[in-house]
A = this chain, B = another copy of it.
Amino acid sequence: MTSPDPALLSINTATVRAQWALPEIVAGLARHDIRGISPWRDQVARTGVKQAAQLIRDAGLAVSGLCRGGMFPAPDAQGRRAALDDNRRAVDEAATLGAHCLVLVVGGLPKDARGAIVSKDLAGAREMVRDGIGELLDYARSAGVPLAIEPLHPMYAGDRACVNTMAHANDLCDELAPNGKDGLGIAVDVYHVWWDPGLKVQIERAGAHDRLYAYHICDWLVPTADLLNDRGMMGDGVIDLRLIRGWMQAAGYRGMHEVEIFSSNNWWKRDGDEVLLTCRMRHEQAS
């Protein structure tokens, strides 16, 4: 396996969110000759969507994705409508930014307005997710924004996303967009799926239907100190990143390699330039 093309490196803005606002991130990427960005909506909102789009365009950056839409389940119809409205706004923002896709973190069990989970009906939540994506899909197609379902690690099934395997994401695509190339695909994040014994087969399945819309990299640390914010830099953990990249490439994926690291006790405490420099080096040497 040869080293990846450095031009394929993209940085998810969460990786340096503790250090920099969006304009500083864009400037930092230029300093390190990094060609891709994937912003979070809250960071975009603080800059303003149009201004952010202009900044990114002026810097010549590709937008490998917008994070994030989703969070479909809600205890009642009003809540689900509100979620759908917010998802339509996310689609509009992705269109303005020229994002390659809108990443969907689909949501877990239904929560009340204060964020407390109010139901243990996981199968029901999964139905709400299917229905929500189905409703959003027409709008996204009209806007020309591909939707990328991101299966999240099973440890987030309750509170963040009840789609936890590539197989489930592929099943949803089969059901809602059976023809492939019709605006619904998958964002493969190694952190969430590396453990899955069916990963290779499910990447092949997604590739055969042109559904591989994004590829996110980082590493799984042993031990992991926190369920949310202890992701590792490529090479510091136990994921065989070259193996998985090989599977992605063999399945036809030619898109960017987006580094997304939440790390409250390590990378978020370091200088932003050090983080980007390390991302560049580790992308080449360890992914």
Interface residues of A (CB under 8 A from B): 109, 117, 120-123, 126, 153-155, 157-159, 162, 164-165, 168, 194-197, 220, 222-224, 227, 237-240, 243
- The complex places the Cα of A224 from the Cα of B228 at a distance, in Å, of 10
- The complex places the Cα of A122 from the Cα of B243 at a distance, in Å, of 11
- The complex places the Cα of A154 from the Cα of B165 at a distance, in Å, of 11
Are A240 and B120 neighbours in the complex by a CB distance under 8 Å? yes
Closest B residue to A228 using CB positions: B223
State the oligomeric state as a number of copies: 2
Given A238-B109, A238-B120, A240-B120: A159 and B222 interface contact (C-beta under 8 Å):
yes
Question: A121 to chain B: closest CB distance in Å?
Answer: 7
- The complex places the Cα of A198 from the Cα of B220 at a distance, in Å, of 25
Given A154-B155, A158-B238: A165 and B197 interface contact (C-beta under 8 Å):
yes
Across-interface contacts of A237 in B (CB, < 8 A): 158
Are B222 and A224 neighbours in the complex by a CB distance under 8 Å? no
Are A157 and B195 neighbours in the complex by a CB distance under 8 Å? yes
Closest B residue to A239 using CB positions: B120
Question: A145 to chain B: closest CB distance in Å?
Answer: 27
Q: Which of A121, A122, A162, A165 has most chain B Cβ within 10 Å?
A: A122
Q: Which of B121, B224, B238, B239 contacts A227 (CB 8 A)?
A: B224
Q: Which of B155, B165, B239 contacts A155 (CB 8 A)?
A: B155
Are A222 and B158 neighbours in the complex by a CB distance under 8 Å? yes
Across-interface contacts of A154 in B (CB, < 8 A): 153-155, 195-196
Question: A239 to chain B: closest CB distance in Å?
Answer: 7
Across-interface contacts of A117 in B (CB, < 8 A): 222, 238
Q: Which of A154, A155, A227 has most chain B Cβ within 10 Å?
A: A154
Across-interface contacts of A224 in B (CB, < 8 A): 155, 227
Question: A75 to chain B: closest CB distance in Å?
Answer: 14
Across-interface contacts of A223 in B (CB, < 8 A): 159, 227
- The complex places the Cα of A227 from the Cα of B154 at a distance, in Å, of 12
Question: A253 to chain B: closest CB distance in Å?
Answer: 20
Closest B residue to A120 using CB positions: B240
Across-interface contacts of A197 in B (CB, < 8 A): 123, 126, 164-165, 168
